Amino acid sequence: MVSLARRIMEIEPVLLGRSSRPECRVHTHFFFCPGCNYVHCFSAKLQGYDRNAEKPTLQKEVYIPGQIALHTCRSKITGGMIRYTNDSTHHLKGETVELPIIQYGHI
Ligand SMILES: [Zn+2]
């Protein structure tokens, strides 16, 4: 059995159709954010995800406004690392850390 260290995972299509928030219905993938200690979902197409689950790169920043989450979180994912901008409001603002590997049963 091939074991792949995935830092980004695909959302099950059945879950997408059930989302009550229209903006979430375009989301196709998620990662676990160590700054928010929570998952962030995104559209692979809109964010320019390179489909490398082990060392992912997203061409565009991921921005989670504080109004819809506990923290404002702005990040850029490059080569499996996540860099947070200084306008993020959590403890990892301004820092770059490894994006956590997602295990089945992790969330
Ligand atoms: Zn976050």
Please give the structure tokens belonging to residue 12: 């099950």
What separation in Å is there between the alpha carbon of 3 and the centre of ligand 1? Answer: 26
Q: How far is CA 13 from CA 2, 32, 66, 82, in A?
A: 24, 19, 27, 26
DSSP-derived 3-state class of residue 17: coil
Predicted confidence (pLDDT) at residue 20 exceeds the cutoff of 50: yes
What separation in Å is there between the alpha carbon of 1 and the centre of ligand 1? Answer: 32
pLDDT of residue 70: 83
| pLDDT tens-place string over residues 37-95 | 989 999 999 999 999 999 999 999 999 988 767 889 999 999 999 999 999 999 999 99
What mean pLDDT, rounded, does the chain reach?
A: 87
What separation in Å is there between the alpha carbon of 69 and the centre of ligand 1? Answer: 9
DSSP-derived 3-state class of residue 54: coil
What separation in Å is there between the alpha carbon of 62 and the centre of ligand 1? Answer: 9
Predicted confidence (pLDDT) at residue 23 exceeds the cutoff of 90: no
Neighbours of ion ligand 1 (CB under 5 A): 33, 35-36, 73
pTM for this structure? 0.85
Q: Where are the domains of the chain?
A: 9-98
What separation in Å is there between the alpha carbon of 59 and the centre of ligand 1? Answer: 17
